[in-house]
A and B are shown apart, each in its own frame.
Chain A
Amino acid sequence: MALILFPVSMFGLLSVLRIARGFHSRALISPHALTKIGTGACVIVILLAFLGANRPIVAAFACFASVAALFSALKWLERRQIDALRAEIPIFLDRWILDLRLGNSLTAARDAALRESSDRFSRLLRPFFIGGPSALDSHPIFDSGTLNEMRALAESAHSALDRLKNLREMIRKTDAFRRKSGQAVRQTAIQAQVLLCLQFALAVYAVHRHGWANVHDVAMISGLLSVCGVFLMRWMAGRVKWKI
């Protein structure tokens, strides 16, 4: 039993550590939250390995599923953080432009705007600006256009105010359109989630009522059909054939 328990738990723990390290290096999720989530995942993995020691395949599958769930949860958290930080960019640009118009130099205005931004935002952006153009190769919260403009501003301060205003207008317009287009996918995503929940509840009922041995094939086929339907729904919502 120990021969199974040991590799399953080791695989799980190492995967959790590796995933947590990857997210820690990107510095988008706070180390405090990451420690809590990682510790929780380690406890779950050890528990699963112990509880499933008599059924190694189930234990390995549960361990893999919990690691995958951890990765998805952290990815979702990171995505939320990125969205929240991206929403701060226009406000940061407003402050930068305001300080520039008040007569400060480009870097002084930028530093003042950074000081007034949230801790996380300024912590992420400070090394990016201080490192010079070499540090401007990529950034998790800037898209390529914004990044290029920041690079251009770092290289030459010529007509910086106009360029910043232009960047702010571009970001606002792009965000407005993205919000509108996001409606389509969001509505369908909610519908799809409700349908999957109903399907899951129905499957649980069927297994409870008739037993796993009698309905396992039906449950699997039905689950597969349902997942295909959900993917098709999302694909249809996110696909617009532009006629412009």
Chain B
Amino acid sequence: MEDLTPPLLRALRETRWHLQSGKGVREAVSIYLSRAHDPFADSLRERWIPFQQNPDANVRPFASPLTRGFWDLIRRGCAGQPTLEALRALEDETEAAAAHQLDLHLAALPFKVLIPLLLFQFPAYLLLLLVPLLRELERQMGG
């Protein structure tokens, strides 16, 4: 079965999991980043490396509010504030947002699938049905 879990949700789950297993935020994020290889992890890594060197450094903000919230929690966690409950709440919010987007994707899919149907399948059927008939007709007219 195909897994379409959004990368942010994966990051949140893994970080929370490590926190619940007794690790600190810094360690949890480092472990997640060492394993994840997707565009979201790359963009997080891009901010994480300068942040580790200088926590006060200005890093480029994330575009989505959920991702910004995650980054905020990471900063707060690294500053020693408790983050586990907030991380769990953010995970719930992200799950709800992802489920909604997935519903929209499922609703739009029948229309999207019409494109390959019209561009590829329909011509394929037409070719098989009409070309042999036309050839036969041509042969009969020619003969």
Contact = CB atoms under 8 A, between A and B. Distances in A.
Interface of A: 83, 144-145, 149, 152, 158-159, 162-163, 166-167, 170, 173-174, 177-188, 191, 195, 198-199, 202-203, 206, 209-210, 214-215, 218-219, 221-223, 225-226, 228-230, 232-233, 236-238, 240, 242-244
B76 interface: no
Nearest to B99: A180
Contacts of A191: 113
B5 A225 contact: no
A236 B2 CA distance: 13
Contact of B124 (A163, A170, A188, A225): A225
Contacts, number: 150
A143 to B, nearest CB: 10
A226 B7 contact: no
17 contacts: A149-B21, A166-B17, A170-B13, A177-B9, A187-B106, A187-B109, A198-B125, A199-B124, A214-B135, A215-B131, A215-B132, A225-B121, A225-B124, A228-B120, A232-B115, A237-B109, A244-B101
A222 B128 contact: yes
Given A191-B113, A244-B8, A244-B94, A225 B14 contact: no
A214 B132 contact: yes
A181 B2 contact: yes
Nearest to A181: B4
A187 to B, nearest CB: 7
Given A179-B1, A225-B124, 14 more contacts: A83-B1, A145-B14, A174-B13, A177-B99, A184-B109, A198-B125, A214-B136, A215-B132, A219-B128, A221-B127, A222-B128, A225-B127, A238-B2, A238-B4
B66 interface: yes
B21 A183 contact: no
B119 A184 contact: no
Contacts of A199: 121, 124-125, 128
Given A173-B13, A186-B1, A237-B113, A218 B131 contact: yes
B137 to A, nearest CB: 12
Interface string B121-143: 10111011101100110000000
Contacts of B131: 215, 218
B98 A229 contact: no
Contact of B120 (A163, A181, A225): A225
B128 A203 contact: yes
Contacts of A173: 13, 95
B136 A210 contact: yes
B102 interface: yes
Given A163-B21, A173-B13, A222 B127 contact: yes
Contacts of A166: 17, 20-21
B67 interface: yes
A188 B1 CA distance: 12
Contacts of A195: 117, 121
